[in-house]
Amino acid sequence: MTRVLITGATSGIGASFARRFAAKGFDLVQVARHRERLDSTAGELRTGYGVDVETIAADLLDATGRAAVEERLASSAHPVDVLVNNAGFGLPAPFPHSPVDDEERMLDLLTKVPLRLTHAAVPGMTARRRGVILNVSSVAGLLPTGTYGAAKAWLTAFSESLRVDLAPHGVRVLALCPGFTRTEFQERAGMDVSSLPTWAWLEADRVVDQALKDLGRRKPVSITGWQYKAYALAVRHAPRTLAARMARSRTPE
C-alpha cells in the first residue's frame, strides 16, 4: 500500500494533495500544528475514502516536533513512499522591514525543514528503489522577491539537483511552482491582495492536478496556468536587470 506524508496537510495545497491521494486509495500521514484540525480532516478522509490516516501534530520549527516527523519518515515499518513538503508561510513586509527573528523562522521553514525531512526520507526510498519527493516551491523564486523568493529559488534548485541524483535509484522529485493560489496563505501572512485581478488566481485543486500530471511526465518543475507559464518564459529570457523590475512586492504562494 502506498503511503504519503504531507506537511501543512489541513488546508490549501496540502489539503488538496491529501484528497487527491486518498481518492487513489493511498494511505496518509498528515502533519500540521493544530491537533483539533488534524483530527477533523483525518476523520473526513477516513470516512470519505476508506483510507488509513495517521496524524502528527507538530510545529516543524520546533526541534522536538520536527524530530518526530523525521523519525516517522525514516521508519521501515509502514514506510512512507511519497513526501510532500508543503508547510510554509510568508511575511507581509519586504526585507528588512520584518523582525529578523521572523525572517529566520521563515527561512528555516522554507529551506531547513524540507532539507531535513527529505534527508530522513531518501535512504529508505533509495533502498526500496521507489519513492517520490514533491516540494511546493513558488513562481516567486523566479524573480528577486525578497527572502521568500530567495528561499523558494533555493527549494526549486534543490529539487532539480536532487532529481538528477536520485533518478538512478528509482526516486522521482518534482518542484511545484504555483502562482497566487486561493488558500489561507495570504491571510495568514497579513498580505493585502485585494487589487489582484481575477485572472491571476489559481485554485489549489488545479495546482495539484497539474503537479500530478507533470510528475507522471517526469518533468522537473510544475507550473500551473497560462499566465504563470508565460511569466516563467519571460523571466527566463529577460535580462536580469529587467527581471528585477518585473518583481512585485506581493508574494505568490
Hey, which residues are catalytic here? 148
CA-closest candidate to residue 93, choices 106, 84, 74: 106
Residues 6+ apart with CB under 8 A from 7: 14, 31, 32, 60, 69, 84, 85, 86, 87, 113, 117
Residues 6+ apart with CB under 8 A from 143: 149, 235, 243, 244, 246, 247
- Exposed, middle or buried, 216 (CB in 10 Å: 0-12/13-18/19+)? exposed
Compute and round to an integer the Cα radius of gyration of the chain.
17
Q: For residue 178, give the C-alpha cell.
A: 504555483
Q: For residue 169, give the C-alpha cell.
A: 535509484
The two beta strands, 53-57 and 82-85, are: unpaired
d(C-alpha 115, C-alpha 18), whole Å = 21
Number of other residues whose CB lies within 10 A of the CB of residue 253:
29
- Exposed, middle or buried, 218 (CB in 10 Å: 0-12/13-18/19+)? exposed
